[in-house]
Every structure is written in C-alpha cells, then in structure tokens.
Structure 1
Amino acid sequence: MNPTKLRLDIFEESKQELRASFEKKWQTNDLQTFQFLSANLAKCLPSLPVAQHKSIYFDIMSYRVLQHIDTQFSAQFSGIDDFNEFDYETIKKHLPALFVSYHSGSYRSAIAFLVKYNINVVLIADPIAYKHHLDKMTEQFLLVKNTFNSTSELIIYPADKSDLTIQIMDKMRKGYSVLAYVDGNAGANGYFNRDNSRKIPFFGQQIFVRTGLATLSFYLKAPIIPMLSFYDGQLKPRWNIYDPVFPPKGERTPGDYVEKSTRYLYAILEKALEKYYVQWEGWLFLHRYLDIESFSGISADAAAPDAAAVVINDNVGLFVFDDKYYALNKENYKLLEIGADVFDLFDKRDMNAIIERPASDIHLLYKNGFLKNSTTAA
C-alpha cells in the first residue's frame, strides 16, 4: 500500500477512536483540560465563538495524534520536504547555535535537520517526557542517525535539571548545539516559577516567559535560530526556518538583547498561529504563564446584590476531577471546589434553586464572579 495513503488511513481510524473517548469526557464531566483551554482561547482569540471551542479542542487533539503517528510511522524523518529551508552552508559558519522550536506541527522532527548535517545536539526535554520517554527519544535519534549515516551525538537533559545552565555552557564550548522548545516554558522549580522570567505581549495578553535560552545566547555569543513546523492542507509536515538572532558584541549587560530576542521568538509563534492555531499544543497550558493578576475580579469585600438581581455567569466552566467538583470562572481564572449539589444546579442553570442557598454561598459565588449582577451581565 502507498505509504502516504496508509498514513492518512491510520490517522482517520485514530480520529474515530479519539472521537469516542472525546465524547466520553462530556458524559463524565472530565473537562478540566477543555475548560482551561476554552478560557485561554477566549482571552487570546476572542473572535472565535465560544461554541466552536469544543471542535477546536478536538482538532488540537487530532493534530497531536497525527504528530504521534508521524513519530512512529516515519521515525527516521527522511521524507521531510523542507530540508532546503535549512541553509546549512550559512548556518555552519555560526555553530554552535541554539536552535529554538515550538510545540506545533510535526515538532519532533526538528532533530532530523541537525542530525542530517552531523551537528552534535543537546536536546532540552520536557521533564515529564524525559521521565517517561527517554528511551524512546534516544531510540528515535539512533534511527534518524542511521538513516542519514550521521556522526551526530545526542545528550538529553530535562528542562528542570538543577545545573542545566552549567551543563549547556560546558557542552556548547565543546561544540554541541542546543535544540529546545521555547514555548514549553519549563525550568527549575516548575512551570509556575517566575524566577528568570519576564512579561511579554502575546495575543493581546501578558505572559511570563523564561529567558534562559536568550541569556545563554548572550553570554556564549551563540546565535538563536528559530524553526517552526506546521501541517499543510494535505497534512504533510512542513518547516519554516527563520532569520537567526545574533547577540551583540561589546555589550556587558544582557537585558536589552534578552528582551528583544524573546519577543522576536514569540512574535514568530503568534504570526504562525494566526493561520495554524489548532496545531499548537500550548493552548492547553497557556494559563500557567498568563498574568492572571490582570484579570481583576470583584472585591472580596463586595456585598452581593439582592439574590433576585444575580444571574449565573455565562463564562463558568464545570468539571470533575478525582471525584471532586469544580467551577472555573473563565474570565478571571478563579477556581472553586463546590459540592455535587451546587455543581448540578450550575450544570442545569437552575438560578431559582441557587438563590435559595445560604447567603454565605451566594456571597462566595458572587465575589469570585461565578454569579453576576443581572444589570451588569446584560
């Protein structure tokens, strides 16, 4: 059978399996990921109707499936059409370099570009992927290496490794280049650690992003070379290689370079997502990096209006996790554990029953924005 047709047939079959498990999530209210995704989309892509968020969620998960199929189906990545995008004759003059990519399209195939040209690589991996899939990542590298008869060597470090900066500096001084995914935003002390982060604009919001790669680039005088993958209309994996960023010579402080280069990397992503927004896994986790303090809610001291004057906020998302019931205010990211009875009332939008709850419950729901004044909600 034609390999291209077989790949697409496997994808269609996998999508049918995904659809069954997808619908089961709605039946069981296993919707934590969806509700946060919906909140993130509403903040960053407000022109998309909320009614489309469910289908967008399915599309994002479908592209994840396709990416996994490509990783297994064509593990050696020898069929990529865009190797000519990688101007090795120019790039080799600036090695070692920091190759920076994103979790979009067939992002795992980035390694093929470096291996094809015998570049030694330090791969910075997501800590969870490193813990559970290190053997698979190593096996895939060896397949690619053998396919291209390459001399490349690979070292893999988790993004939260305590001495990561020291190790990278050591390896780059020995000629290794780095491959990292800037939108993973992982690092020491977890995703929510704001050390070595700064705020930058992203789709009209402010997000906290790590600056370690740009800082390394500055001190090692190594360029940053962005590369981004996407699937085209025929579901073929494609790549764009962007203009590199060169650290300035003679500068003693990294601040200005780190700011400009970091903004440049995220501007590339934002521009690509204007067209390929359903191909980015980052929507599932963006709330970890958003500056949610800017989404002010009602003052904790604010008294709820008369019960007859409150209504349910349309931007409340419900989900069940670990046999506990939660409501998420998608406007301000307030998360509230609620009883099963209250969950059921919100699910049925039974405002008449909600206003019969104790005044303390009404106040709690109102001050966190789960209930709104009917005059301001209109």
Structure 2
Amino acid sequence: MDFLERSTTNEDDASTSWLYALFAANLYRFCPQIDTSSYADIYRRLVTSRYRASDDQLSEALPIKREVLAELTSYIRQIKGRPGFVTTFHTGSYRILSRVMYMQGLNVAVVMSREIIAEQGEHLFAQHTKMKDVGKLQLIDADAGNCLIKMLGALQNGYHVVIYMDGNHGAAPTKDELDNEEVPFFNCNLVVRKGLAVLSYKRNIPIFPILSSLDDQDDTFYKSYPVISPNTEEALKHYTSRVFRTLYNHLQEVVYPKPEVWEGWLYVHTMPGKRERNKVKRRYQSYWPCRVGTRYYMMISPRYTCQEIGKLSFLCMRKWKHLTRQMKN
C-alpha cells in the first residue's frame, strides 16, 4: 500500500492509483449521495489520517488535548472495575486507545490480526515496558481458531478486551447463516459473525463502545457511548441484533460528517455483504481508471473486478470521467 502511495508522481496520479480506485468504488457503493467530485479530496485526507494515526502510536507523549484526554480517562475509570469488551473501529487515532487504558491501570488485551501482531507487537510491548505503574498488556491473535476462548480467558483474568469491529481479518462469517448477523450500514448491508454478542449475552459481559474522530479543528477526540448490557428478559436473537445495529450506528454517526476518518473505505469490500437472492442485475455500475506503475486498469464497481487496459484507453476514460464530473457540477 505504501509503495503505491509513494509511486504517485503527480496530483493526477494520486486520484487514479489502485488504492484510490478501491476507495472510490467503496464510497460510491455505500454512500452514493456524496458528490464524486469531492472523492479525491476525501481520499487525500484519508491518507493523511492514516499516517497521523501511525505517528500518534509512535509518539512518546499522548497527542491529545488535555480536556479530551480528561473526558476519556473519566469514562475509562468508570468501567475499570467491570472487565468487558471495549469495542472500537479504525477511525481517527484508534491506535492509542489501549495505551490510554493501561495508563489508567486497566489490564488490556487487544485483539489483532496475526499480520499486525508480527508488524507492531514488538514495538507495543517495548513501549509498554518503558512505562511504570500501568496495567498489563496482552495481544490476542484474531486469526487463531481459539480467539474467542482467549478473549474469555482474558476477561476471567480481569482484562478489558479491545476489539476492532471493522477488522477484515479474524473470525470471518461462515456459510452457516445461523452464525451470522446482517447489519445495515449506510446504503448497504454487512454480514458479521455473532460470536461477540453471543459471548456477551451468555456470560453477562458488558460492551463499552469508544470511537475516535476529529473535531472541527482537526484535533483528535474520543466519543464514549452508553454501555450495552444483556437483559435476562431479552431473547438472544434480539440482543444480537441490538448490539451490532447499535455499534454500526455509532460508526455511521462518526463517519458521515467526516468520511476521511475511517480506514475501512480501503477494505470494506473484503467484508461480506448481503448476497443478492435473485439474478436481477444491479442498476448502477461505475468504471474507475487506475494506474499502478506503468500499467493501466479499469475497476468495475460494485463487482470489484479489474481489467487491464491500454494507456490510450486509460487516458480517454480519465478524460471522460473529468468531463462528466464537470457536466454534473
């Protein structure tokens, strides 16, 4: 990904890279109401946000305003005595949430993909070791078959478990529809595995949603939402639906005014969506020119197929997109 971003040689290339094509197709699929002429700007801000999240993680001092940190730590202190699932998404400066938590004395287990653990795990533990009077840190492999058992074990040992609900790794939905839950997200539906909600329901484990975003001055802030707790009078089916609809409503609330804060636009197509039950063709189909190095492609949305094309076809298609955008405006 980073290579593709660095390989862009001018401003036009930035709006026709492979990642941009993925981003544009996903944004159009879920939020067709957003004017396509703003896509390039949103994408550039998204790239900036990604690097900012990485820099925040490496920073020795917490890059958060004092009043924002005070509000977040106040919420964390309130949940300290009741271990549960701290659910978040890849928005804003999501990477330092677990750090703020163990700095407040909480024992924290973070669920991550095996790839991210290999890439960041050593740094996270080294950073944690340098600190004094903090809670313990544990990393749980989201790709492991015993992930849920590990999460339950951590909870029983007094850890709060941090989960990225929109991760594209880990316990993927199965073919068995009984294990999956369909969740509305903007103009489409996503399919998620029920495991988190089922574990919460059967073991009476609370869910604490916390999301990061940017304020009007583009400074990091965190929003803590009311706890989601199982109710003995509520059926498991209803609780499961309530959990995921509530969490993804929170994500929509954060993303809608600032689409650039969510990294998911780059990979939401890898998250299962609702399958068409009939053979009726989709009414809307878009074509996006993209370039990778010296090779040229046409991405077809919303099918996410890609076809290599010649340079002349690429230039004509890009010019056509530009002209139609001007006509629309």
TMscore range, shorter length: 0.7 to 0.9
* Equivalent position SS for 1:184: coil
Asked if residue 137 in structure 1 is aligned to residue 124 in structure 2, the reply is yes
Residues 211 and 224 in structure 2, CA contact (< 8 A), matched pair in contact too: yes
Aligned to 1:319: 290
Report 1:193-232 matches (<5 A).
196-232=179-215
Q: Number of aligned pairs?
A: 309
Measured against aligned partners, the alpha-carbon deviations of 1:339-368 in whole angstroms (never above 9, x if no partner) come to: x44x64354249xxxxxxxxxxxxxxxxxx
Residues 106 and 237 in structure 1, CA contact (< 8 A), matched pair in contact too: yes
Q: CA deviation at 1:70?
A: 1.8
Aligned AA (2:237): G
Task: Evaluate the alpha carbon distance shift between residue 322 and residue 259 of structure 1 in structure 2; reply closer, same or farther with a 3 A threshold.
Answer: farther
Compare 266-275 and 27-36 and name the one that shifted more.
27-36
Aligned to 1:177: 160
Aligned AA (1:35): A
Alignment match of 1:267 (pick from 245, 249, 255): 249
- How far apart, in 2, do the equivalents of 1:75 and 1:139 lie? 15
Residues 299 and 305 in structure 2, CA contact (< 8 A), matched pair in contact too: yes
Aligned to 1:244: 227
- How far apart, in 2, do the equivalents of 1:245 and 1:325 lie? 48
Measured against aligned partners, the alpha-carbon deviations of 1:10-49 in whole angstroms (never above 9, x if no partner) come to: xxxxxxxx99754458549972221121111112222222
Residues 213 and 221 in structure 2, CA contact (< 8 A), matched pair in contact too: yes
- How far apart, in 1, do the equivalents of 2:276 and 2:71 lie? 44
Residues 166 and 264 in structure 2, CA contact (< 8 A), matched pair in contact too: yes
Residues 292 and 333 in structure 1, CA contact (< 8 A), matched pair in contact too: no
Aligned to 1:277: 259
* Equivalent position SS for 1:67: helix
Task: Evaluate the alpha carbon distance shift between residue 298 and residue 173 of structure 1 in structure 2; reply closer, same or farther with a 3 A threshold.
Answer: closer
Aligned to 2:50: 64
- How far apart, in 2, do the equivalents of 1:22 and 1:345 lie? 19
- How far apart, in 2, do the equivalents of 1:203 and 1:179 lie? 25
Aligned to 1:355: none
- How far apart, in 2, do the equivalents of 1:118 and 1:70 lie? 20
- How far apart, in 2, do the equivalents of 1:326 and 1:268 lie? 36
Task: Evaluate the alpha carbon distance shift between residue 63 and residue 213 of structure 1 in structure 2; reply closer, same or farther with a 3 A threshold.
Answer: same
Compare 277-286 and 26-35 and name the one that shifted more.
26-35
Aligned to 2:323: none
Task: Evaluate the alpha carbon distance shift between residue 30 and residue 160 of structure 1 in structure 2; reply closer, same or farther with a 3 A threshold.
Answer: farther
- How far apart, in 1, do the equivalents of 2:279 and 2:313 lie? 23
Instruction: Give TM-score scaled by structure 2 length.
Output: 0.81
Residues 324 and 337 in structure 1, CA contact (< 8 A), matched pair in contact too: no
Task: Evaluate the alpha carbon distance shift between residue 88 and residue 336 of structure 1 in structure 2; reply closer, same or farther with a 3 A threshold.
Answer: closer
Residues 100 and 225 in structure 1, CA contact (< 8 A), matched pair in contact too: yes
- How far apart, in 2, do the equivalents of 1:157 and 1:75 lie? 25
- How far apart, in 1, do the equivalents of 2:241 and 2:50 lie? 31
Asked if residue 337 in structure 1 is aligned to residue 297 in structure 2, the reply is no
Aligned AA (1:87): Y
Instruction: Between the two structures, name the one with larger relative contact order (CA 8 Å, sep ≥ 6).
Output: 2
Identity %: 23
Q: How large is the Cα RMSD of the aligned pairs? A: 3.2
Aligned AA (1:274): Y
Residues 77 and 112 in structure 1, CA contact (< 8 A), matched pair in contact too: no
Instruction: Give TM-score scaled by structure 1 length.
Output: 0.72
Task: Evaluate the alpha carbon distance shift between residue 258 and residue 277 of structure 1 in structure 2; reply closer, same or farther with a 3 A threshold.
Answer: same
* Equivalent position SS for 1:121: strand
Aligned AA (2:165): V
Aligned to 2:80: 92
Q: CA deviation at 1:182?
A: 0.8
